[in-house]
C-alpha cells in the first residue's frame, strides 16, 4: 500500500501546479496592452473611410506643408447621408509658407503652423466606436477629403506615404498603393493633395503622422499587482497540499 500512497502524494502537487499555472496565465493575460492588436475586419483607416469598432485614441503629429494655398487640416464625422460634422481643427496654417516660394512653399512647425503649449505640433482625438470619420484639407482652393466618395471618387490622400519627395509639383506615381494603412502600434505617414498647381497630385501639400490606441474598460494591472498575485497563488499551493 505504501507505493500507492507515494503515487497520490505526487499527483496532488502536479494538479495544484496545473491550477496555479492556469491562474498565472489569467493574471498575466489581463496585462496585455489594449492597443496592441491591429485593424479588425469591420474597421478601416483609408480612402474608403475611417471606422473603429471600439473607442480609439488617435495622435497626430504635423510634419510639413508644400502648398501654395493657406490651408487647415480638419477632422469631420460623416453621417449616414454623407453629411459632415466638424470635430476638430488639427493643424492650421497661419500663413502660406515659411518664406514664400522658397523650398517649394515649405511650411514648418513653429513658423507656418504654430505649436501647442508643449512646444510641439501634435493633436489627439478620441474616435467613437462605429462612427465614420474623414480628414478634410480646407484651403482657398476648396476642400478635399481623405474619403474618396466625398471627392466624387478621386483619391486626394495617401495612407502610408508623405507623397512626392521630388521638387514641388512632381506627380506621385502610385497613390493607389497607399489607400489604406493600419495605425495601431506604428506611425502612419499621411499626405494630402489640395488639387492646386493644375492638380499636380504630388500629395505633399499637407503631411503628418497618425497613430492609434484602443481604449479599454478594464485597467491594466500594475507590475506590483501582478507580482502580488503570483506570490499569493504560490503561497496557496502548500495550504492545499496540507489538506
Which H or E run includes 164? none
**Unique residue bearing C-alpha cell 493633436:** 123
141 plus 163 within the same structural domain: yes
Model confidence pLDDT, tens digit, residues 197-240: 777 789 999 999 999 999 984 345 555 555 555 555 555 455 45
**For residue 110, how far is the Cα from the chain centroid?**
24
Residue 178 backbone dihedrals phi, psi, to 5 degrees = -125, 50
84 plus 119 within the same structural domain: yes
Per-residue pLDDT at 37: 72
**Unique residue bearing C-alpha cell 489569467:** 26
227 plus 198 within the same structural domain: no
pTM: predicted TM-score of the whole model, two decimal places: 0.76
Report the alpha-carbon distance of residue 213 to residue 33 in Å, rounded.
9
State the DSSP code for 128. Answer: P
88 plus 171 within the same structural domain: yes
Per-residue pLDDT at 16: 38
Distance set, CA 20 to CA 3, 23, 28, 239 (Å):
26, 5, 12, 13
Q: Give the domain range for residue 28.
A: 2-34+223-242
| Any domain includes 39 | no
Extract the residue ranges of the chain whose pLDDT is less than 70. 1-36, 217-243
For 155, counting Cβ atoms within 10 Å of its Cβ (0-12 exposed, 13-18 middle, 19+ buried), the class is buried
Determine contact, residues 208/162, Cβ cutoff 8 Å: no
Amino acid at each position: 500500500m505504501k507505493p500507492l500512497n507515494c503515487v497520490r502524494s505526487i499527483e496532488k502537487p502536479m494538479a495544484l501546479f496545473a491550477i496555479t499555472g492556469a491562474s498565472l496565465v489569467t493574471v498575466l493575460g489581463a496585462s496585455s496592452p489594449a492597443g496592441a492588436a491591429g485593424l479588425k475586419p469591420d474597421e478601416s483607416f483609408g480612402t474608403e473611410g475611417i471606422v473603429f469598432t471600439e473607442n480609439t485614441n488617435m495622435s497626430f503629429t504635423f510634419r510639413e506643408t508644400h502648398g501654395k494655398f493657406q490651408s487647415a487640416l480638419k477632422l469631420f464625422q460623416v453621417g449616414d447621408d454623407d453629411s459632415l460634422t466638424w470635430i476638430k481643427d488639427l493643424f492650421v496654417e497661419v500663413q502660406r509658407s515659411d518664406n514664400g516660394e522658397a523650398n517649394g512653399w515649405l511650411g514648418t512647425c513653429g513658423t507656418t503652423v504654430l505649436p501647442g503649449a508643449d512646444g510641439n505640433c501634435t493633436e489627439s482625438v478620441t474616435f467613437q466606436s462605429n462612427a465614420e470619420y474623414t480628414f478634410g484639407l480646407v484651403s482657398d482652393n476648396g476642400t478635399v477629403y481623405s474619403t474618396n466618395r466625398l471627392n466624387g471618387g478621386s483619391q486626394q490622400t495617401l495612407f502610408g506615404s508623405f507623397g512626392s519627395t521630388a521638387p514641388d509639383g512632381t506627380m506621385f506615381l502610385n497613390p493607389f498603393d497607399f489607400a489604406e494603412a493600419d495605425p495601431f502600434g506604428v506611425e502612419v505617414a499621411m499626405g494630402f493633395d489640395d488639387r492646386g498647381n493644375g492638380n499636380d497630385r504630388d500629395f505633399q501639400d499637407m503631411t503628418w503622422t497618425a497613430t492609434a490606441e484602443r481604449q479599454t474598460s478594464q485597467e491594466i494591472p500594475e507590475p506590483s499587482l501582478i507580482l502580488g498575485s503570483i506570490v499569493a497563488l504560490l503561497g496557496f499551493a502548500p495550504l492545499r497540499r496540507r489538506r
